[in-house]
Amino acid sequence: GQNIDQPTEMTATEGAIVQINCTYQTSGFNGLFWYQQHAGEAPTFLSYNVLDGLEEKGRFSSFLSRSKGYSYLLLKELQMKDSASYLCAVMDSNYQLIWGAGTKLIIKP
Amino acid sequence: IAGITQAPTSQILAAGRRMTLRCTQDMRHNAMYWYRQDLGLGLRLIHYSNTAGTTGKGEVPDGYSVSRANTDDFPLTLASAVPSQTSVYFCASSARGGNTDTQYFGPGTRLTVL
């Protein structure tokens, strides 16, 4: 079956760096997406990786290793507004997104 | 530009009732999707449409139906609601279906079936 694994919850301190991991097993691979979802709101797009390596976008970076079925989202200079759930999703061979359950990130002052 | 709108924002429904969740986008996207989100689970695809006039089944289609009469609208209907359909429903769209285009989400509908 298809499976996306990510930690349920993480805690970090304002101003610090946090890495959220995602491992996947899917039928085919057409890219990996990261979304941010604040409580009670819709998911919003953060990043897309289809080739191995690191994609940097401001304070957020996303890494992909296709051979290991592994990705991480790196958040630098954490701000209180970064408190949210972070969703990892893989696009399978049918171009459908398979979603992880999300990682709830709690930022403490 | 509104993007994607959904209605209603929330609804409490008696079991056995029929309910249609509305979704409209103004981005002229070809593809649209309906997901449900339940605590502790990832988003699960209910139905999708890659272009107006076509629809397809996702991971959890039972008990739901959709139509895509035009580009902008993609309503989701629960013919006879059951308590297990209590969830948050998100509509999404992307420029092209069957492609790696980014999906953009509406604000969601919170549905409670009693």
The per-residue pLDDT for range A30-45, each reduced to its tens digit, is: 999 999 999 999 999 9
Is the Cβ of B40 closer than 8 Å to some Cβ of chain A? Answer: yes
Residues of chain A under the 50 pLDDT cut: none
Amino acid, single-letter form, for residue A63: F
Nearby residues of A2 by Cβ (< 8 Å), 6 or more positions away: A25, A26, A27, A90, A92, A98
**Minimal Cβ distance to B106: which of A42, A96, A102:** A42
Three-class SS of residue B71?
Answer: coil
Show which of residues 21-80 on chain A sit within 8 Å of chain B, judged by CB atoms.
30-31, 33, 41-45, 48, 50
> For residues A66 and A71, what is the distance between their CA atoms, to the nearest angstrom?
8
In which residue are the tokens 């398979």 written?
A98
Q: Percent of chain B scored above 70 by pLDDT?
A: 99
> For residues A27 and B74, what is the distance between their CA atoms, to the nearest angstrom?
28
Q: Which two tokens stand for residue B70?
A: 């035009």
Q: Percent of chain A scored above 90 by pLDDT?
A: 95
What beta strand segments (E) does A58-108 contain? 60-65, 70-75, 84-91, 97-99, 103-108
Is the Cβ of B5 closer than 8 Å to some Cβ of chain A? Answer: no
Instruction: Pick the closest to residue A51 from A72, A27, A31, A26 (CA basis).
Output: A31
